[in-house]
Structure formats: structure tokens, C-alpha cells
Amino acid sequence: MDVPRPGCRFCVAPPVRAEFRGSVGRVHVDLSGRTAIVTGSSQGIGLAIAVGLAGAGAATVLTGRGEERLREAREQLLDRVPDARVTSVACDLTTEEGAARLRAEVPDADVLVNNLGIFGPADPLEITDEQWRTYFDVNVLSAVRLIRAYLPGMKDRGWGRIQNIASDSAIVIPAEMIHYGTSKTALLAVSRGFAKEAAGSGVTVNSVIAGPTHTPGVEEFVYDLVGRDLPWEEAQREFMRLHRPQSLLGRLIEPSEIANLVVYLGSDYASATTGGAVRVDGGYVDSILP
């Protein structure tokens, strides 16, 4: 498991070197000259992805609603990738106005990672219509808006990478998070549909199915389910044993492990991978195919 830096127990692991070893030697991912947008990137998985893309040479755009949190995220990224080209745009991408603000600040992108999302447990019979709409606004429509905004330019240039960060919950719908799981299932369909729209253009569109991952929000979620009287390592093991026993990894995934796959899918090496739901789930989904 990655060792987080002092003062940040969960957000970002050591910098992604953008190199992968294979049977034919070392593969170097070079995104120099590319611009990458990562939504919901002020912490957790989104920030880890931004670190990975910046480490591969992409000019990276952080997004979030809070200026202060974005400043802190930028500092964390530069701490790990000192020569990174990184900017941030504070905007609420759950609204058309927020998406328009991002587009005005960043007119074109080569890599778009739709990571913005919310989750939380709820009694299925108590979830209101408004809550259902909120989950679809945040987890689905925010991605659709940005795909509509940036896909045409990618197609015109003949190259682009769009990735929608989904979840194992899209396939294994949790009883305590039906609204969340359903929104992520919809995101798989969004990815497949827009991949067809981009067919033959040099642009790929994929979903990344992330398994149970160690982020601040998930840590709170774990403590809500198993109680707060246990040390973190014990709480994590108890959570996996009771609530995610299907995991073959037997632990929560670190954000940098999600980022490794996203960096690869954002590169030239993944040119033949499109319309897919690619899993980095620790073997949680008990299926040969998604």
C-alpha cells in the first residue's frame, strides 16, 4: 500500500512516474503538449489522477467549487510534480453556468476525466425525488455537459481521451446506496453512447470502474458503518469483511492505483480501447465482463 505524506493520510500517493514495465521493457507515457481537465480534483481520486497526468507531462486543470481547497490541491500537486503546468478553475459543474465558466477559461482539452461525484448511504425507501435528481445532476449530467462541450474539438483535431470515473456500484448495486449505484450505471451507458458518437475520429471514450477506494469521504463512510471506536486499519478490515467481502484485494484501493489506469487510458497506448468499462476494482466485481 502506498505511504501517504505526513499531514495527508489518504489523498495522494508518491508521484506517478508515467512509466510502466512490461515484457518488452519500459513503457513511457508522454502527454507533453496535451491539456487535461480533471473534475472534482481538489482531493482524493481526482487529485491523484491530476498528479498522474501532470507527471506524464500534461498541462493539468483542477476543478472544484472552493478556491481555497483548489489552492491547497495545486500546492500538493506541485509538491509531487514540481515542474508541472497546473491551473485551477473554481466552478460548480452541476450547473450549466459552471460548465460555461470552465469552457471560457479552458476552451479546448485533449484529455477529459469526469471524476466529479457524490455518494452516501440512505434507506432506499426514504430517498426523495429531490435526492434522486441531485445524484443524477452531479454524477451524470455534469459529465454529459462537459462531453458535449469538449468532444467536438477533439474530433476536429483527430485525437482525444474522455474517461468517466464510474464505480463497482454501477454493477453491484449496494442496498444502502441504490441512488448512487443507479447514477453510476447510467454513466456506463453515457460512455458507451458517446464512444459511438466519436467512432472513427481518433477520440476514445471509456468508463473506469473504480472499486472501494481509500479517500476522505470513504473513510467517513467506513466509520459510519463499523463505528468510530476502532483504529483505522481495524476499521478498514472490518468494513471489507462485512460490507465488501467479494474483494480479492482484501483492502481499500489507494487513489494512485486508480490514477495509474487513467494515465494509461489517456495515452496513445490506449488508442484501441474505446466504448469500454475498464475495471480497477481489486477484483470486487464477481464477473468475467462488467
Distance CA 230, CA 240 (A): 14
Between the two ends of the chain, the Cα-to-Cα distance in Å is 25
Which 3 state secondary structure label does DSSP give 115? coil
264 is catalytic: no
Q: Is the dihedral of CA 253, 256, 260, 265 positive or negative?
A: positive
Catalytic-role residue among 180, 223, 264, 284 = 180
The cell for 31 is: 502527454
Query: Cell 503538449 sits at which residue?
Result: 33
Distance CA 199, CA 230 (A): 50
Catalytic residues: 180
